């Protein structure tokens, strides 16, 4: 789960055929850990800017510890994710109410696949008025494995995205937005099932220190916090 040493802007993520379509996803929080051997747990939990420690500090799981969350995921027939719909749905599924005004993304129409802007409705959440997402690296692999249950070969899709999130919200200083920068990566595993209308998987989110953090050189590449969520999707 090391942070990526990114150089070349990654191309758009393409999903395999068995994942294409519209899905209702249920996520269940599985747990968390603090894996660093260089920074103590007490040092970590005093930091308020670690991704996941505040609502909306990780857009995909903006209420990280929520026990159950439900949202819609759409992957078109070209294998590209409908990021506008999906981010709006997953954020509101985490928050439990309508909060997103607009998602700006043009990576599915030939634009930049590594930049997403999310604007919130005014006064809907104290932690975010706007989120800017930058994908610095992206990896994926499609694996075929024989099922232990029935001996049939089925596909497993694993993918990762290394994100830099800038969150703007109200501050105590009039006319000046509060700005929090967070670095994290999502590691997805999606498993094809005998029932083609069902997917099972897991999401690991690794939170890293920002290079400007005083403790950065104590843990420059490895995560200081990891969150786990089991996911189950049912075709709509």
Q: Mean pLDDT over residues 130-142, rounded?
A: 96
- 183: helix, strand or coil: strand
Residue identified by tokens 């089991």 is 230
Q: Supply the mean pLDDT for the chain.
A: 94
CA distances from 164 to 4, 136, 234 (A): 11, 7, 30
Cα gap 219→223, rounded to integer Å? 8
Is 128 in contact with 136 (CB distance < 8 Å)? no
- Look up residue 2 and give its DSSP letter: P
Q: Is the dihedral of CA 108, 109, 114, 116 positive or negative?
A: negative
218: left (phi over 0), alpha (psi -120 to 50) or beta: alpha
Q: Is the pLDDT of residue 176 over 60?
A: no
Mean pLDDT across 214-224 = 96
Report d(CA 157, CA 199) in Å as an integer: 11
Q: How far is CA 175 from CA 49, 51, 171, 180, in A?
A: 22, 25, 8, 16
Residue 167 has φ and ψ, to the nearest 5°, of -110, 125
pLDDT at position 4, please? Answer: 75
The yes-or-no verdict on residue 231 having pLDDT over 80 is yes
15-59 pLDDT, tens digit each? 999 999 999 999 999 999 999 999 999 999 999 899 999 999 999
pLDDT tens digits along 50-80: 999 999 999 999 999 999 999 999 999 999 9
Can you give the pLDDT at residue 178?
Answer: 85
7 in Cβ contact with 215 (< 8 Å)? no
91 sits in which H/E element: helix 83-95
* Residue length of the chain: 236
In angstroms, the CA 53 to CA 32 distance is 11
Ranges assigned E (strand) in 66-152: 68-75, 100-104, 115-120, 130-146
The C-alpha atoms of residue 210 and residue 43 are separated, in whole angstroms, by: 15
Cα separation, 110 vs 88, in Å, equals: 21
Give the C-alpha separation, 132 to 235, whole Å.
30
Which residues are within 8 A (CB) of 67 and not within 5 positions of it... i.e. 6 or more apart?
A: 28, 29
DSSP code of 81?
A: B
Quick check: 155 pLDDT over 70? yes
């Amino acid at each position: 789960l090391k942070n990526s040493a990114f150089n070349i802007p990654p191309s758009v993520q393409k999903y395999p055929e068995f994942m294409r379509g519209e899905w209702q996803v249920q996520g269940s929080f599985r747990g968390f850990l603090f894996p660093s051997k260089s920074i103590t747990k007490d040092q970590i939990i005093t930091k308020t800017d670690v991704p996941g420690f505040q609502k909306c500090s990780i857009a995909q799981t903006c209420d990280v510890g929520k026990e159950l969350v439900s949202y819609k995921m759409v992957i078109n027939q070209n294998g590209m994710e409908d990021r506008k719909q999906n981010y709006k749905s997953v954020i509101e599924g985490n928050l439990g109410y309508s909060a997103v005004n607009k998602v700006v993304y043009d990576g599915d129409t030939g634009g930049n696949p590594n930049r997403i802007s999310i604007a919130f409705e005014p006064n809907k959440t104290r932690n975010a008025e706007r989120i800017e997402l930058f994908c610095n690296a992206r990896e994926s692999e499609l694996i075929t494995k024989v099922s232990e249950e029935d001996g049939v070969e089925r596909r497993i899709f694993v993918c990762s995205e290394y994100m830099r999130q800038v969150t703007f919200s109200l501050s105590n200083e009039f006319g000046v937005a509060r700005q929090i920068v967070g670095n994290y990566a999502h590691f997805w595993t999606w498993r094809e099932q005998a029932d083609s209308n069902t997917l099972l998987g897991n999401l690991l989110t690794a939170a890293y220190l920002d290079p400007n953090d005083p403790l950065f050189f104590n843990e420059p590449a490895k995560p200081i916090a990891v969150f786990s969520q089991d996911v189950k999707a049912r075709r709509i």
